[in-house]
Amino acid sequence: MLMAIGAIIAGLILLVWSADKFVEGSATTASHFGTPPLLIGMVVVGFGTSAPEMAVSALAASQGNPGLALGNAYGSNITNIALILGITALLAPIAVHSQVMRKELPILILVTAFAGWQLWDGDLSRMDAIGLMLAFVVLIGWSIYQGLRQPDDALATEMTEEVNAMPVRKAILWLVVGLLLLIISSRILVWGAVDLATTFGISDLVIGLTVVAVGTSLPELASALAAVRKNEHDLALGNVLGSNLFNTLAVVGIAGAITPVPAEPAVFYRDWVVMTVLTVALFLMGYGFRGVGTGRINRIEGGILLAIYLGYTGYLVSTLVPGG
């Protein structure tokens, strides 16, 4: 058991560090090759911050633990909105100026609804996974179109300030090193998580929804807190929106393509419902219906999001951990 806990801690630390280097290297490399800043923010950084979830879920599915893969993806989405944006908004209210972000909010609702429709029959088949991957390709195409069409968006301005001016060789080195360490740390983390779940008789789904989800979402938390400190609010929200879109489509799609994922009823009526409620709440807060011209997540709303996360996690622990 101690080895499993040690593997989880070591895996998470290495995962967070390698994800940061991978994002930094990939974003800077893309910038050197003339990629528009908005496109870097929407696609490159979105892919990079979801890389831990992709690596962990793909590995878990290939090793016969699809519950861990699904729990990691949906748990990360819940964590991103409720925990990360909740904490961030408590520290500093988040204002949304980017028009692209306002377009992504309803898209995220549609993607979440599509995921729920696939879960309805209790099984995520390879055909379902192909549907998710095709939707992901469409999303990437739309993101590229928006990145080229709106170079002066507020998110593009913030992204320009964030891109590191390191030499291209160093950027490529960090991209490769970060990717390799992501794979290694994912193997360590998955082994520890599965071993811990087996030891305590907890389903790998619950481990994925809690411990692994929080761990793989740490890069988003670090990015959001850093962005808000620099008054880059659109970047903070953009990281979460991009990550959730990538998680729902690509992370689950990759896992389902590797092996069909049986989804127990609770995944739909508990986890997907919580994820959907949080997504709709984020849309209502971030879209700007309050007549001020921009969306805004204030401290009270941040506190509510955090309370929902604590309540959801507490419910998971109390009902699904033996003896809880």
Q: What is the pLDDT of residue 126?
A: 92
In terms of Cβ atoms closer than 10 Å to its own Cβ (0-12, 13-18, 19+), residue 31 is buried
In terms of Cβ atoms closer than 10 Å to its own Cβ (0-12, 13-18, 19+), residue 248 is buried
What single-letter DSSP state applies at residue 260? Answer: -
Q: What is the pLDDT of residue 324?
A: 45
Size (the chain), residues: 324
Both tokens of 40, joined, read 């870097």
Q: What is the pLDDT of residue 47?
A: 74
Residue recorded with tokens 């928006």: 146
- The two most distant CA atoms of the chain are separated, in Å, by 56
Contacts of residues 312-317 at CB distance under 8 Å and 24 or more positions apart, as own/partner, are 312/78, 312/82, 312/274, 313/210, 316/206, 316/209, 316/210, 317/210
Please give the residue range of the domain that contains residue 141: 2-320
The gap from C-alpha 33 to its chain's centroid, in whole angstroms, comes to 26
Q: Are 313 and 210 in contact (CB under 8 A)?
A: yes
Domain CATH number, residue 89: 1.20.1420.30
* Number of separate domains in the chain: 1
Q: Are 66 and 261 in contact (CB under 8 A)?
A: yes
Contacts of 226 (CB under 8 A, 6+ apart): none
CA nearest to 6, candidates 159, 180, 191, 134: 191
Q: What is the pLDDT of residue 282?
A: 92
Q: What is the pLDDT of residue 220?
A: 76
Q: What is the pLDDT of residue 28?
A: 79
Residue recorded with tokens 């806990």: 5
Whole-prediction pTM value?
0.85
In tens digits, the chain (324 residues) has pLDDT values of: 788 889 888 988 887 788 778 777 877 777 777 777 667 766 777 777 777 888 888 888 988 888 888 999 999 999 999 999 999 999 888 887 777 677 888 999 999 999 999 998 888 999 999 999 999 999 988 888 877 776 666 666 666 665 666 787 888 888 888 888 878 887 888 888 888 877 878 888 888 888 888 887 877 787 777 777 777 777 778 888 888 999 999 999 999 999 998 888 989 999 999 999 999 999 988 876 665 556 788 899 999 999 999 999 999 888 765 544
